[in-house]
């Protein structure tokens, strides 16, 4: 029987991260009946900073949450590529300074998630949002799906719906059900240490900087406006390559128990302890860390398909990628809009889900592959190789047209508007 989507659908979402919550809000705005299950029993503002690119911020505006998010975020003015001596290689304007209709937002991931959850409670209703329910499997008929969720005490509950959206992250139980032999995420040999510190604003107080090269990179950007004491909360990331033979996703990632664990400053200082720039003292930033975590840089191979009957994947469950180019949360938010728009039609469920996948899967697969080639960060490697001790004139090291070509290629593949 063909289902007429002028009748609003009963939709189940697995996962209450940024992708799952944006999807819930977008679908609810279209009049669908949404239920969401999140495995975490008590939601807390965990994590550190993330960036949301303008085309995803436009979706947040469409959902109706942008004005409030601007109050807890920084509108990024530029992404600056620098060598390990802090010398600027390339400055890429971002958000409205670059001519976009919307800003790029630098924001604390946990605060963004908590705000989206609060909005979902307000709009969708707490009776449709479940904490402490991890959906671990799904069965389906021609008409509906039945998902089994496990509670913290081990008991099981079932949810039925017209279809299921799995937004349950890189360790997705639903993805594993359909791809049981996929194995662990693939590690590129790079470990990331991520933290936050309070410092006096650097540069214009709105810039994101990536400095270094493929073996050691320091990323930093503010995630709050300056406070009354003149300091600003910044997010920083130290990337250090531990295994060269893993470049391109060839290694198995460290065990799940090693994910998001507390980091040790002593692992960073031998590499970054003398990175003192004119505009920022990196060792001082590291010593002033208010929190410090470490985890491996991992992804998964692109899938041949996301939809399986009345089940589809979204966000990191569908396309986990290296955190290069601010694409993690951005692509999940774009997924949310696309699936909501695809379902806002008279197509049958399966056809609507196919339409979503046709638009999103090829682009996300391209981003995964480009990020394995370091995306825009390849600019850093070119300069490090040609001028490891710094430069007097940048044009003696790299032609500006060469940089522009790298930038244009990546932006087009990632779905940016390119002037």
Contact between 241 and 216 (Cβ < 8 Å): yes
pLDDT computed for residue 323 by the predictor: 87
30 or 413, higher pLDDT? 30
Let me know how many helices (H) and strands (E) the chain has, helices first.
11, 20
Kindly calculate the radius of gyration of the chain based on its CA atoms and give it in whole angstroms.
Answer: 22
Look up residue 3 and give its DSSP letter. P
Mean pLDDT of 215-221: 96
Assign 250 a pLDDT band (cuts: 50, 70, 90).
low
Q: Is the pLDDT of residue 5 over 50?
A: no
Contact between 145 and 162 (Cβ < 8 Å): yes
Q: How far apart are CA 235 and CA 214, in angstroms?
A: 20
CB atoms within 10 A of CB 306: 23
Tokens representing 372 are: 């394995």
**pLDDT tens digits for range 39-69:** 999 998 888 899 999 999 999 999 999 999 9
Tokens representing 419 are: 């002037």
Backbone angles phi, psi at 394, to 5 degrees: -60, -35
pLDDT computed for residue 253 by the predictor: 66
Q: What percent of the chain has pLDDT over 70?
A: 93
Q: How high is the mean pLDDT of the chain?
A: 91
Residues present in the chain in total: 419
Backbone angles phi, psi at 222, to 5 degrees: -75, 145
Q: How far apart are CA 237 and CA 255, in angstroms?
A: 21
Mean pLDDT of 391-397: 92
Q: How many CA atoms lie within 13 A of 205 on its CB side?
A: 13
Assign 415 a pLDDT band (cuts: 50, 70, 90).
low
Cα–Cα distance list, 143 to 75, 371, 411 (Å):
45, 39, 40
Token look-up 């197509």 returns 347
Look up residue 281 and give its DSSP letter. B
């Amino acid at each position: 029987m063909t289902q007429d989507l002028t009748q609003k659908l009963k939709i189940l979402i697995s996962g209450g991260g940024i992708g799952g919550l944006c999807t819930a809000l977008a679908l609810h705005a279209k009049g669908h009946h949404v239920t969401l299950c999140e495995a975490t029993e008590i939601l807390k503002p965990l994590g550190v900073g993330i960036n949301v690119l303008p085309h995803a911020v436009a979706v947040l505006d469409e959902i109706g949450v942008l004005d409030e998010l601007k109050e807890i975020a920084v509108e990024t003015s530029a992404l600056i590529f620098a060598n390990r001596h802090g010398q600027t290689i390339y400055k890429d304007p971002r958000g409205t300074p670059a001519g976009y209709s919307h800003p790029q937002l630098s924001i604390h991931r946990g605060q963004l998630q908590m705000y989206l959850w609060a909005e979902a409670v307000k709009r969708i209703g707490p009776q449709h949002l479940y904490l402490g329910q991890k959906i671990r499997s799904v069965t389906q008929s021609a008409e509906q799906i039945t998902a089994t969720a496990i509670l913290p005490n081990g008991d099981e509950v079932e949810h039925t719906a017209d279809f299921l959206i799995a937004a349950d992250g890189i360790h997705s139980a639903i993805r594993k059900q359909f791809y049981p032999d996929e194995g662990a995420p693939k590690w590129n040999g790079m470990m990331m240490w991520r933290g936050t510190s309070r410092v006096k604003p650097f540069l214009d107080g709105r810039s994101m900087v990536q400095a270094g090269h493929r073996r050691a990179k320091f990323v930093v950007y503010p995630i709050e406006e300056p406070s009354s004491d003149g300091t600003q909360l910044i997010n920083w990331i130290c990337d250090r390559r531990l295994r060269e033979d893993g470049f391109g996703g060839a290694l198995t990632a460290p065990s799940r128990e090693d994910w998001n664990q507390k980091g040790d400053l002593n692992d960073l200082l031998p590499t970054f302890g003398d990175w003192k720039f004119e505009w920022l003292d990196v060792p001082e930033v590291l010593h002033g860390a208010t929190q410090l975590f470490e985890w491996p840089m991992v992804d998964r191979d692109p899938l041949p398909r996301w939809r399986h009957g009345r089940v589809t994947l979204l966000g990191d469950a569908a396309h986990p990628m290296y955190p290069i180019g601010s694409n993690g949360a951005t692509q999940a938010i774009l997924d949310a809009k696309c699936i909501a728009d695809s379902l806002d039609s008279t197509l049958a469920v399966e056809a609507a889900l196919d339409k979503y996948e046709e638009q999103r899967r090829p682009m996300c697969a391209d981003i995964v592959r480009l990020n394995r080639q370091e995306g825009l960060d390849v600019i850093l490697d070119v300069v490090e190789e040609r001028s490891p001790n710094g430069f007097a004139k940048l044009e003696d090291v790299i032609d500006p047209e060469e940089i522009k070509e790298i930038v244009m290629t990546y932006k087009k593949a990632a779905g940016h508007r390119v002037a």
